[in-house]
Each structure stands twice: as C-alpha cells, then as structure tokens.
Structure 1
Amino acid sequence: MEIPLLDARRMGEDPAGFARDLGRAARGSGFFLLAHHDVPQDLIDGVLAQGDAFFALPHDAKARIAIDAGNRGWAWEGSEKLDPDSGQVDRKEAFNMGLDLAADDPRILAGDPFRGVNRWPDLPGFAETLRAYFDAVHGLGQRVMQAVARDLDLPPDHFESAFDAPMATLRLLSYPAGSPEDGIGAGAHTDYGALTFLLTDGVPGLQVRPRGQSDWIDVPDVAGAYIINIGDCLMRWSNDTYVSTPHRVLPPPRPRRSIAFFLDPNPEAMVSCLPGLGEAKYPPISGAEYLRSRLEATYG
C-alpha cells in the first residue's frame, strides 16, 4: 500500500498536479504525508513541550478539567475504547481543545452543538501556544480542502463556508511505553471527520490496514511532515470516492507523544453527496449530527 509524500509548496506552484496526487492517495490508501508546509517548527516544538508539562501534572489538577460534553478537556487513560468490539481499553491520555470562543459568544449562548469554552490548565503559555497552533493548522486544512475540491472537479472554494468555523479538535496525546501483551495504545478505528493532520515525535506505533485486507502496515515517519488521512465524514461526502482507512497505535517501545488535528466541518454544514459523484449512498446529515453519533459510540 502506497503512502505517498506530497510537497505542500505545490499547492501554490502546481495546484492541479497537487490535487491530482492528493486524489490518487485519497482513493487508494486514504493516507499521505505532507512536507514543506508552513506551520513553523518552533510552534510545533512549543506544543509538544506544553503537552509534556500538562501530562506531568498531578491527577487532581488534570481531573479539574476532565473532558466535557463539548469534547474539550482531559481524557484520562482508560476513558476511551476506539475499538469497543475488541474489549480493549485504549492505553493513552489526551487533552482536547476546539475553536476558541468566549463564554458570551452568541453561538454558545444559543446552545449551538459543539460550541463551548475551552478548558485550560493553569500552565503559563499553554492556552496561547495551542490557540496559535490551532489557527495555523486550520489554515493549512482549508488549503488542503481546496485541493480536495479541485480533485473532485469542484470550484476550489467549494468547501470554504463549510470549514470557516469548524468543529475541529486539536488533541495532544501521550502513550505510555508498553508491549503487545499490555493491550493497545489506540484501538483500530477510522477517524470521524474530514481530514486528520498528525505529527508525532518519531516513536513508532501507528499502523494502517487497507480495507479488505488483514495485514497491518507501519506508517512511515518523515521528520517535520504531517501524516494526513481521510476521515469518515469526507468519505461519506465524496459518496465513497475517497477511502477512510482503519488504523491503530500499538503500545510503543518508549513513551510516545503526538499532536492530532481533526478537521470536522461547521456544525450546520450539510454533508450530502457532492455533485458528479453518482447516486447518493447516504442521506444528508449535518456535521454536528454526524460527529455526535461517532462520539457517542466511543464514549458510550
């Protein structure tokens, strides 16, 4: 299974060629690597450092900002089962933030789904660093969605209004060292949203399983490059033209850190079969309704 390495500079220099290569990966493995993006390395390093500081906090300090109904806050080790059928509980902990809104934002006051106030730990620079990273990857995600639109013979700005205030989640992840006998780092699953942008600290563990096959394949790590994969929402939106591929994280040989950015659409965006992709296989559904259905399956 090919997981190609794409050059983000081509989004500006050769947008048609970049879109073609992205589309080939999206129809094949559902994964690709993206190098030479414009997210600063010092910002990435800062997020990893803030994650280290957060996960080192005492349990009680993290528990004060435990994950809430808006999918924000701390998820403790053992709180998630990404593969519930396996009976295994994920061996990881995480911190989630979403689009940063003030408590008096009209969308929060109106009770709009998945609109909430982020839950911050008492750590200097933590919120500011994560806000900056969220904005940077959101911008990168919007540009990649332009390439998706081009590949699907749509205007480049087709998805712009569906992702200008997304239900995106920035998630810091920490996996303890372990062995296969210890269970699983993250159970086999497909991602819920449109695109996932993942950076790791280079410690191995991420594997993918091509649909219809039984063998798991290690995902290559290229320093500084994002691992990007198609999520179920975009697979549905594309009427199964694109492929959302199952993946998992094995217990790593030493502690493993990663930063995931899950690009989900705006809550009110309608996910329905895109033009030119044949008879619709799925009924239309709002972004919020779709995300809620997937989170309920994970958290029970």
Structure 2
Amino acid sequence: MNTIPLIDLQEWRGGSTAQRVQLAGRVDRALQESGFLMISGHEIDPRLRARIRAAGSKFFTSSPEVKHRYRTRVGGRGWIPSGAEANAYLEQSPGPADLKETYTSGWDDHSTGDQAVDDEWFAPNVWPGEIPEFERLCVSYTQQMRALAQELLTIFATALDLDPDWFTSRTDRAPHSFNLNRYPAMTETGTALEGQFRIAPHTDFGVITILDRQAGHGGLQVDTGDSSWTDAPFVDDAFTINIGDLMARWTGDRWRSTRHRVLPPSELAPQEELISLIFFFEANHDAVIESFDPPIGRTHNYRSVTAADYLRARYAAITI
C-alpha cells in the first residue's frame, strides 16, 4: 500500500523543528489513510531480535510436558497454546482457532499499591527455567520497546499539534504485552479450515503496536477499506507500526484502527515457519479515553471508557 510509508526515525532525532513537523505530517496522513506505517533508523539491534527468536524456538520445540508447565490464558503470562485463542470470535462466533502459539510477558516492574489491579495488569512474568537466557533477552527488548513507543507517541502528539507529552503523560504507567507468536508450517498444521488463519481478521485493542516480522507466503495482510486485502510491505530491519482501537477512539476516528490478518500456511511453502515479535503498548490502566471532537477528531458517538475496561472486554472476546 502506498499509504504505508517508511519513516526514518533519524530524521526526527536529528531534524530541525520544521523537519520534525513535516515528518509528523507524513505520520498523520499514514494513520488517517491506512493506520499503518513502517519505521527504520530505530537502532534496535537485529542481533537481539535474532537471539530472542532462537530462545523462543527452544521453548516452542520443548516437550508438551515442559510447555504445559507455563500454560496461561489470553491476557496472562506464559504460554498460550494453539487452539486457545480465536480472533475470529471478534467477527463471528463460534469461529476457528488461530493457527499459532504464543509466549507472552508484560510489565511487572510497577506497583499501583492495589493488589487486585497489580494482579490483573502488572502480574509477575513467568519464564521457562529450561531457557535461562530467555528472560534477560526479552526484558532488554521490552525496555527498548517502551522507550520507542514513547518516542512514537511524541511524534503522534506533534502530528495533532498537541503538547509533546499529551500521549506520553497518559501512558507513563501503561501495561504492555510482548508476544512471541510462532506460526507453524503446513506440514504441522495441515490444510487450514475454511475461514481459518494464522491470525483471523481483527483490529488491535490498545494504543500502538510495534511488530518485528519475517517475510513469508503466510504473512501480514491489511484491509484496504474497499472490501479487499493487500500484502503489507516488508523492509528488512524496519518495524511495522499500527495503532489500535484505543488510539482510534482517542482521536475520534481521525486515525484508523485497521483490520489486518496473518494468512494461513501456504501450499507454496509447506515448510515455512515464522516467528513474530509483537509489542502491544497500552494506555495507563485507569486512563479515561475521551475522544477528540472536530477539528482534530471526526463526528463520533464514542462514550468515555477506561483503558482497563475496554481491554478486559476485548481479551475475553477472543478467549476460547
């Protein structure tokens, strides 16, 4: 899609005020037109991402007995097995399960002082003792992802001519989810059922998603908005960025939380297995999402909602 531009963050980091405003304008147009963009110049070491994938592969190829020690639910901490999540439920129920398995972690370095809140949003992570390097690698990565998300949100605020900290001040205590999604090969899954995908068509739930993905036949597609789908462009070492429902609500649908999907395994590459690193960044759990009216936003019927209430309902909707 020509509406998914490649943005070089070095132009923001080293640019003049005028250059920053121009870059932010490109971001604004992308988020209005497709809800997606790509970023290069982020300086996140590709070797770190390769090591995380290698550690994740060690876990995913562990015995069923080992993996089940770390089993969790959608929204939890640990391993979500294949068959436990169905994004298809967002559009039809019942629907086929997603053809993936996930290892998920979150931000556990924060306490609100309310045990119930902490247990839900900032629960301790669970790491497989069989792979000691896994925790260290993932913690390093998510620390960098939080910083990158905040930088992107500063650009977003500039794009809307808001105070630079408008979004970052409302996400400084935000929970996050970091998912390693393994998409098994067709030789393991067999032919997909009718309407079954590696991830069914859906929108993301939160504020911003930072995706490090691998190119493949069974890859990411984006809803063009005219009842068709297009392959998301791929640039080596660039992150794919999209906004979620909460950001779309915040902007009064100026920006699009766009449906997307991950295609099922392809007969053209029956041995193809992919692992995606997906960082979901949310708003502060108690943030009240109040939509901008025109001229920033568009005419809308949104009511205020807390981030926690919205996310809780969405997690429940895709749990089998």
TM range (shorter): over 0.9
Equivalent runs, 1:1-300 vs 2, <5 Å: 1-2=1-2, 3-12=4-13, 13=15, 14-68=19-73, 70-84=75-89, 85=92, 87-101=95-109, 105=111, 107=113, 109-112=115-118, 113-122=120-129, 123-178=131-186, 181-182=192-193, 183-204=196-217, 205-211=219-225, 213-252=226-265, 253=269, 254-274=272-292, 276-277=296-297, 281-300=301-320
Judge conservation of contact 2:175–2:281 (CA < 8 Å) in 1: yes
Length, aligned pairs only: 297
Percent sequence identity is 33
Give TM-score scaled by structure 1 length.
0.93
Judge conservation of contact 1:235–1:244 (CA < 8 Å) in 2: yes
* Separation in structure 1 between the aligned mates of residue 21 and residue 202 of structure 2, nearest angstrom: 31
Distance 1:69 1:6, change over 3 A: closer
Q: Which runs of 5+ in 1 are unaligned?
A: none
* Separation in structure 2 between the aligned mates of residue 134 and residue 239 of structure 1, nearest angstrom: 29
Please give the secondary structure, in 1, of the residue aligned with 2:117: coil
* Separation in structure 1 between the aligned mates of residue 292 and residue 116 of structure 2, nearest angstrom: 30
* Separation in structure 2 between the aligned mates of residue 247 and residue 172 of structure 1, nearest angstrom: 18
Please give the secondary structure, in 2, of the residue aligned with 1:251: coil
* Separation in structure 2 between the aligned mates of residue 147 and residue 180 of structure 1, nearest angstrom: 43
* Separation in structure 1 between the aligned mates of residue 124 and residue 260 of structure 2, nearest angstrom: 30
Judge conservation of contact 2:220–2:260 (CA < 8 Å) in 1: yes
Displacement of 1:180: 6.2
Displacement of 1:106: 5.1
Moved more, 270-279 or 219-228: 270-279
Judge conservation of contact 2:251–2:292 (CA < 8 Å) in 1: yes
Distance 1:226 1:28, change over 3 A: same
* Separation in structure 1 between the aligned mates of residue 112 and residue 37 of structure 2, nearest angstrom: 38
CA RMSD of aligned residues (A): 1.9
Q: Which runs of 5+ in 2 are unaligned?
A: none
* Separation in structure 1 between the aligned mates of residue 146 and residue 216 of structure 2, nearest angstrom: 25
Please give the secondary structure, in 2, of the residue aligned with 1:111: helix
Distance 1:180 1:24, change over 3 A: farther
